């Protein structure tokens, strides 16, 4: 009964790409891909710089907020479609609920 049992403390950590969260690294990787598709060195450099800027803005917007803040923001600000709409909750444009 004196066995040293390892109990993990972080089961629900976000996915990582290197040291960065996926939602912070995604704008940079997407812009890197678009820069590659541009086919020129200047286009690649400009897209990479824009990707770094967007990733830093995402990291600052996410600082000191809930881990799922980007998903919550997308839920409230993107239009609903049949694939992303939730059946148990009202549409996101209804801000006040009675009951």
pLDDT tens-digit map of 7-37: 767 777 777 888 888 888 999 999 999 999 9
Predicted TM-score (pTM) of this structure: 0.63
**C-alpha–C-alpha distance, residues 89 and 66, integer Å:** 21
Q: What pLDDT does residue 52 have?
A: 94
HEC profile of 9-64? CCCCCCCEECCEEHHHHHHHHHHHHHHHHHCCHHHHHHHHHHHHHHHHHHHHHHCC
Percent of the chain at pLDDT exceeding 70: 77
**C-alpha–C-alpha distance, residues 93 and 51, integer Å:** 30
Q: What is the CA radius of gyration of the chain?
A: 20
Residue-wise pLDDT for 30-77, tens only, equals 999 999 999 999 999 999 999 999 999 988 888 888 877 877 887 777
The size of the chain, in residues, is 99
């Amino acid at each position: 009964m004196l066995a040293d049992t390892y109990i993990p403390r972080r089961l629900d950590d976000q996915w990582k790409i290197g040291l960065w969260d996926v939602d912070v690294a995604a704008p940079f990787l997407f812009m890197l891909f678009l820069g590659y598709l541009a086919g020129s060195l200047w286009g690649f450099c400009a897209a990479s710089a824009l990707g770094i800027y967007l990733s830093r803005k995402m990291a600052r917007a996410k600082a000191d907020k809930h881990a799922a803040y980007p998903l919550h923001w997308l839920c409230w600000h993107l239009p609903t479609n049949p694939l992303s709409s939730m059946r148990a909750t009202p549409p996101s444009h209804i801000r006040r609920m009675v009951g």
